[in-house]
Amino acid sequence: MATTRVARTEWEGSLLEGKGEVSLVTSGVGEFPVTWASRAETANGRTSPEELIAAAHSSCFSMALSHGLAGAGTPPAKLETQAEVTFQPGEGITGIHLTVVGTVPGLDEAGFVKAAEDAKANCPVSQALSGTTITLTASLG
């Protein structure tokens, strides 16, 4: 069965001087302030579309990798995934780098890297972002 998730942003003012607030409607877990400066300069306690994409990508990738490892008979004890989304004003998102460190009993480094590459290719968020260069560093901890 398909699911739909909802987020909403209220924005006031111009791009450079304005401000907004992103609400995670479906879960109700929070509201997050956003500004152009938090996107193109420093965060200063505010988020950006790119940080939200990084959160979505790191969590989706972790789920896909966990599922693939468990399906191969080597479920992970722990996965630590970081997604770095690079934004260049005037160009847009120029790349995403995933870094994952796993604790996976019974699996060697080569097997873990292969599973991570498969997860990168098959994670739904990676697929949605396929027009962007996505790189990966994977290692066992």
Q: Where in the chain is the domain with CATH 3.30.300.20?
A: 49-140
pLDDT of residue 129: 97
Three-state helix/strand/coil letters over 52-94: HHHHHHHHHHHHHHHHHHHHCCCCCCEEEEEEEEEEECCCEEE
Task: For residue 26, name the pLDDT band (cuts at 50, 70, 90).
Answer: very high
pLDDT one-digit tens code per residue, 61-100: 999 999 999 999 999 999 999 999 999 999 999 999 999 9
Q: What's the predicted TM-score (pTM) here?
A: 0.95
> Which is nearest to 11 in space by CA: 23, 29, 24?
23
Rounded to whole angstroms, the Cα distance separating 115 from 40 reads: 34
Task: For residue 104, name the pLDDT band (cuts at 50, 70, 90).
Answer: very high
SS3 content of the chain, % helix, strand, coil (to 5): 35, 35, 35
For residues 109-126, average pLDDT? 98
Q: Taking the domain 49-140, which CATH number applies?
A: 3.30.300.20
Find the radius of gyration of the CA atoms of the chain.
17
